[in-house]
Chain A
Amino acid sequence: MTFQPTPRQLSAIKAALFLLTLLPALYYAHGLWSDSLGANPIEALTRGMGIWTLNFLFLTLCVSPLRKLSGWHWLLRLRRMLGLTAFAYGCLHLLTYLWLDQFWDVDAIARDIWKRPFITVGATAFLLMLPLALTSSHAAIRSLGGKRWQSLHRAVYAVAILGVVHYLWLVKRVALLDPIIYALVLAILLGWRVVERIRLNGPWPTRSTPPAVQPVVFMKRDAAAALGIPKKR
């Protein structure tokens, strides 16, 4: 069963999704306001923003598999919003750390990033997200060219891996269950991509047999549609 929303339906879906992306932030804002985040609200907030960064990153990574499995190619049109939401929560997570944890103490922050592997990893993940967020506009895609844009945006895999490592490294050994679940989900999301690639290209892409990189062909034919850009009329 394929479902193809009309442009109006797609706008409605996007608007609804946008409201949904605000829900975690509203939950935490309300929790701070009503003092219902427990005895250590700042820690709860920092953790919450971090977890939702990962959640939205994972949702972003779900788009391609879901699209393939369902044939709902329009899902791609939601991917940018999910990715930018992940970035927004990442910014809030970083902000809680810089402000509420370190109170803008530059020396302490520099020491922390240098000395503590989980902070180093988190900071790296954030830095890698920056260029992706900055090149998310139609104009950026056009000026980079679809192919280069796509290779740049493969960095999202590194961001997700670093994000999960950051989470694994931060918790005490006894509380590893949650980050391990995240690691498994990520393994499935990335593993699916590896399997897909092998299925399309064979296990050993060699120079003599140019790999039939179908996404590239697809992009040439209709790069704009592949990237979710509405066609110009």
Chain B
Amino acid sequence: MLIRRPPDLLPSEITPEPLTRGRRALLKGLGAGAALAGLGLPQISQAGSLGTLRPSPLSSDEKLTPLKSVTGYNNFYEFGTDKEDPARHAPGRLKTRPWTVTVEGEIKRPRTFSIDDLLKLAPLEERIYRMRCVEGWSMVIPWVGFPLAELIRQVEPNGQARFVEFVTLADPQQMPGVRSPLLDWPYVEGLRLDEAQHPLTLLAVGLYGEVLPAQNGAPIRLVVPWKYGFKSAKSIVRIRFVREQPRSTWMKAGPSEYGFYSNVNPAVDHPRWSQATERRIGEFIKRKTLPFNGYADQVAGLYSGMDLRRFF
């Protein structure tokens, strides 16, 4: 039989191998063809398994951090404290289906969403955001998700809701790190309601066009790009609308080192190191850290009149 080679195949048209593998894993996970149709998988496309994504004007045009680094260098203490631990332990251990997120508290329509409900809640967008870790390194990550504001709109907070608390999975069966009392599990984070409703605040379900890898906080996580990375809670199981400012896990672990706001701020040092510069993963020379991680134009207004040294 004559095998015809397609003429002039551009290297850019070949799907990178890790993406193919991720896609296959997803296909295997989903199994049923109906589910494929539901997600609107394109037959052949540059886009990954999450279908054709809307680009966003809020995306950065900076050079993306390679997928290998985004998925191989993580802080996700539920799977261990080394940066390589999550990639080593989370895939295969973390069961992301079935998965539910319970939304409760000061809202008119409390509800438990399945992960499939959430994937259909709003059109998925690609958002390329800078991510600045409190430890002094940063990445540029093409997230896939939808604004948290969309979910908030559906559950209708009542007049009492002032803060939103995010509670994440803490299952010692799946998460070896949770077996030791490193932190006060489950990991809890919080935002002020207006921060949560900000158009930049994302509920991410994927990255690089693919379903979120386990080590990055599958199946659904928060992304708040103007705050230090630890504010962006991973593997969320509960979202509570509350009256009082929640006490986050890191505030309990080190009240003098981690505040509720934790906005990226080069002028306010961590007690043990400077936050003036950062190392962008993959780069040699350090960069200057920007106020609000470069999102000051969009978010500085949220904090007008506040002493950001006091509310760090």
Contact = CB atoms under 8 A, between A and B. Distances in A.
Interface of A: 38-40, 42-43, 100-101, 103, 108, 111-112, 115-118, 169-170, 172-175
B105 interface: no
Contact of B279 (A42, A172, A174): A42
Given A103-B285, A111-B274, A112-B274, 20 more contacts: A38-B83, A39-B69, A39-B72, A40-B73, A40-B137, A40-B281, A42-B279, A42-B284, A108-B276, A115-B269, A115-B274, A116-B272, A116-B273, A118-B272, A169-B272, A172-B254, A173-B253, A174-B77, A174-B182, A174-B183
27 contacts: A38-B73, A38-B83, A38-B84, A39-B69, A39-B72, A39-B281, A39-B282, A40-B137, A42-B279, A43-B137, A43-B279, A101-B286, A103-B285, A108-B274, A108-B276, A112-B274, A115-B274, A116-B272, A116-B273, A117-B272, A118-B272, A169-B272, A172-B254, A173-B253, A174-B77, A174-B81, A174-B253
Interface string B73-96: 100010001011000000000000
B309 interface: no
Interface of chain A: mostly helix, strand, loop or mixed: helix
B84 to A, nearest CB: 6
B258 to A, nearest CB: 10
Contacts of A118: 272
Nearest to B139: A39
A118 B271 CA distance: 11
Contacts of A100: 284
A39 B84 CA distance: 9
Interface in B244-291: 253-254, 269, 272-274, 276, 279, 281-282, 284-286
Pick the 3 closest A-B CB pairs, nearest first: A39-B73, A39-B69, A174-B182
Nearest to A100: B284
Interface of B: 68-69, 72-73, 77, 81, 83-84, 137, 182-183, 253-254, 269, 272-274, 276, 279, 281-282, 284-286
Contacts of A39: 68-69, 72-73, 83, 281-282
Contact of A40 (B83, B253, B273, B285): B83
Nearest to A117: B272
A120 B56 CA distance: 46
Contacts of B282: 39
Contacts of B274: 108, 111-112, 115-116
Contacts of B272: 116-118, 169-170
A38 B72 contact: yes
A175 B81 contact: yes
Contacts of A169: 272
A170 B135 CA distance: 11
B249 to A, nearest CB: 10
B63 to A, nearest CB: 15
B286 A103 contact: yes
Contacts of B81: 172, 174-175
Contacts of A108: 274, 276
A170 B286 CA distance: 20
Contacts of B69: 39
A40 B254 contact: no
Contacts of A112: 274
Contacts of A117: 272
A175 B286 CA distance: 25
Contacts of B273: 116
A71 to B, nearest CB: 41
Nearest to A44: B83
A231 to B, nearest CB: 50
A40 B279 contact: yes
Contacts of A174: 77, 81, 182-183, 253
Nearest to B65: A39
A82 B45 CA distance: 59
Contacts of A172: 81, 254
Contacts of A173: 253-254
A118 B272 CA distance: 8
Contacts of A40: 73, 83, 137, 279, 281
A123 to B, nearest CB: 15
B138 to A, nearest CB: 11
A147 B137 CA distance: 49
A103 B281 CA distance: 17
